Amino acid sequence: MKANLNLHDVEHMGYGVFGRNLTGALERLGIENVGHLPAPGEAVDSPGSPPAKELARVALWASTPPHVKGWYDGQLAALFSMWEGTDMPPMFRENLPDFDRIFVPSRQNQELFGRFHPDVRYIPLAVDSRWVPTECPPVGREFIFLTGGASPRKNIPMVGRAFVEVFGDHIRGKIPGPIPRLLVKANHRDAISGSNIRAITATLSAKEELELYKSVHCFVSATKGEGWGLMPHQAIALGRPTILPNASGHAAFAHYGIPIDTHRVPAGNSTFWGDGGDYWMPEYDQLCQAMWDVYHNYEQYAEQAAKNAVMIGNEFSWERTAAEVITNLPELHEEGPTEWTWKPTKSRVFRCLVIREVTYTINGVHHRYEPGVEYWESPDMKMRLAEGGHLDPDCIDPDEMGQEKADQMISAAARAICPTCCRPMNAELHQLVGAQ
């Protein structure tokens, strides 16, 4: 059995963890990966994704739909993807009908993607073998909570607000007991700080990440929406009491943690692709109560967390995920085509010009951009370039993507700061923003 596996190979991204583990599990079950599927003229030089040496009958992507540019005639195109809101923006889903089969990691996503494709199948995900039950640390002088994420959707400020409200008197020494502390694993943009709150913005190795989780007493997620929910799943699998919203991707395993209710709030234009419908906002009072309960009844929660870690490990594994993928792709047994006739998808692409050389890695492929060269890319890639301060204002066109999106691109790029000199990276964009 062979497949062209087109998966991320970036260790510190959700899709990267997903892609690496799925690839490994498929290979352990006998699937030969004959290489990343390059589009005609595409430069493929990532060490983790060698270009295809042959065409398999099945081409599988673990990716967002707009990043898939096409495949070759005679191949079955399968996509394993996810979305974090109740609605899917047109620019995200416009090429979904081109795929032959869609896999998603939650029942909510199965219903959502099913509005736009006739063959959507639910296959749950897992965490890698490092995340096994370990004994909870005893409570000494401190009681440590951990939260994290890399976008406003992760809702880190709500966790910080709840922490201060619940434990303010403990922090000020008015109530005796272990000193509550909150660790926040986030990038600089999404990190918070305050009394007894410490941000961890450095990139951690896999070993360092594991040691961080082992050191804490409780993991807290207030995310507003997930396709699956890697961070709380890791914490539960490790045996840490884990507070999490019982909605979206979490619904498959929230019962192994400490689930809290949610209510709907508009997501708005909070994504690269546009309006995401509604998010699932955690009930704030329940979040506060759960943090209070875990702090004051830690031994009880730690004992249950140890049992839950065993149960979630038995229910979800990458081997089981890979086995279900294989079961749902009987075409893996068939011979692939011999003619390399390219079939592009119908995704819209947008003109990109950059003002400096830059490289992004998407789906395990290095995409290099050089000044003076015209590129045509997906809307989220264009926004990435804009956010980094790399996009030439000449290619920001309100008629192309709408005035609101163009304004977002200009503003995002204008906020980019050079880490060396701490000055704006694109003065020309700042002048544009000032003129609006």
Confidence of residue 420 (pLDDT cuts 50, 70, 90): very low
Which has the closest alpha carbon to 385: 346, 423, 429? Answer: 429
CA 296 from centre of chain: 33
pLDDT of 11 > 70? The answer is: no
Q: Count of domains in the chain? A: 3
Spatial contact of 101 and 80, defined as CB atoms under 8 Å apart: no
Residue that wins the pLDDT comparison between 65 and 414 = 65
Q: Are residues 336 and 366 in the same domain?
A: no
Average of per-residue pLDDT across 87-100: 91
Which has the closest alpha carbon to 220: 182, 265, 169? Answer: 182
Q: Are residues 148 and 234 in the same domain?
A: yes
Q: Are residues 94 and 188 in the same domain?
A: no
Is 236 inside a domain boundary? yes
Spatial contact of 233 and 87, defined as CB atoms under 8 Å apart: no
Host domain of residue 232: 142-315
pLDDT of 143 > 90? The answer is: yes
Q: Are residues 307 and 326 in the same domain?
A: no
Q: Are residues 273 and 333 in the same domain?
A: no
Is 137 inside a domain boundary? no
Spatial contact of 96 and 116, defined as CB atoms under 8 Å apart: yes
Spatial contact of 92 and 66, defined as CB atoms under 8 Å apart: yes
Which tokens sit at 301?
Answer: 């929660």
Is 201 inside a domain boundary? yes
At 78 the pLDDT is 98
Confidence of residue 189 (pLDDT cuts 50, 70, 90): confident
Is 228 inside a domain boundary? yes
At 295 the pLDDT is 97
Is 133 inside a domain boundary? no
At 177 the pLDDT is 87
At 127 the pLDDT is 93
CATH classification of the domain holding 107: 3.40.50
Q: Are residues 266 and 210 in the same domain?
A: yes
Looking at this protein, which amino acid is placed at residue 250? H
Spatial contact of 217 and 136, defined as CB atoms under 8 Å apart: yes
Q: What distance in Å separates the CA atoms of residue 304 and residue 326, rounded to the nearest whole number?
A: 34
* Unique residue bearing structure tokens 């890698």: 128
Q: What distance in Å separates the CA atoms of residue 350 and residue 272, rounded to the nearest whole number?
A: 13
CATH classification of the domain holding 187: 3.40.50.2000
> Tens digits of per-residue pLDDT, 158-177?
999 999 999 998 877 778 88
Q: What distance in Å separates the CA atoms of residue 436 and residue 428, rounded to the nearest whole number?
A: 13
Q: What distance in Å separates the CA atoms of residue 92 and residue 329, rounded to the nearest whole number?
A: 24
97 — alpha (psi -120 to 50), left (phi > 0) or beta?
alpha
Confidence of residue 426 (pLDDT cuts 50, 70, 90): very low
Spatial contact of 145 and 291, defined as CB atoms under 8 Å apart: yes
Q: Mean pLDDT for the chain?
A: 87
Q: Are residues 178 and 294 in the same domain?
A: yes
> Reduced to 3 states, what is the DSSP secondary structure of residue 218?
strand
At 346 the pLDDT is 81
Is 132 inside a domain boundary? no
- Please report which helix (H) or strand (E) contains residue 33, including its range: strand 32-33
> Tens digits of per-residue pLDDT, 327-356?
999 999 999 999 999 999 987 777 888 988
Q: Which residues, listed in sequence order, are joined to residue 71 by a DSSP beta bridge?
A: 343
The sign of the CA dihedral 396, 397, 403, 404 is negative
Q: Are residues 332 and 365 in the same domain?
A: no
Number of CB atoms found within 10 A of residue 39's CB: 14
Q: Are residues 379 and 332 in the same domain?
A: no
Residue that wins the pLDDT comparison between 267 and 408 = 267
> Reduced to 3 states, what is the DSSP secondary structure of residue 112?
helix
Which has the closest alpha carbon to 195: 171, 211, 221, 174? Answer: 171
> Tens digits of per-residue pLDDT, 395-410?
877 766 666 667 766 6
At 400 the pLDDT is 64
Is 8 inside a domain boundary? yes
Which tokens sit at 331?
Answer: 């075409």
Q: Are residues 48 and 189 in the same domain?
A: no
Which has the closest alpha carbon to 253: 155, 153, 107? Answer: 107
Is 136 inside a domain boundary? no
> Tens digits of per-residue pLDDT, 280-317?
999 999 999 999 999 999 999 999 999 999 999 999 99
Which tokens sit at 405?
Answer: 């999106």
Q: Are residues 242 and 309 in the same domain?
A: yes
Confidence of residue 190 (pLDDT cuts 50, 70, 90): confident
Spatial contact of 215 and 207, defined as CB atoms under 8 Å apart: no
DSSP classification of residue 279: E
Q: Are residues 208 and 308 in the same domain?
A: yes
At 429 the pLDDT is 37
pLDDT of 436 > 50? The answer is: no
Confidence of residue 417 (pLDDT cuts 50, 70, 90): very low
Confidence of residue 150 (pLDDT cuts 50, 70, 90): confident
At 388 the pLDDT is 77
> Reduced to 3 states, what is the DSSP secondary structure of residue 328?
coil
Spatial contact of 89 and 276, defined as CB atoms under 8 Å apart: yes
Confidence of residue 422 (pLDDT cuts 50, 70, 90): very low
Q: Percent of the chain, pLDDT > 70? A: 86
pLDDT of 194 > 90? The answer is: no
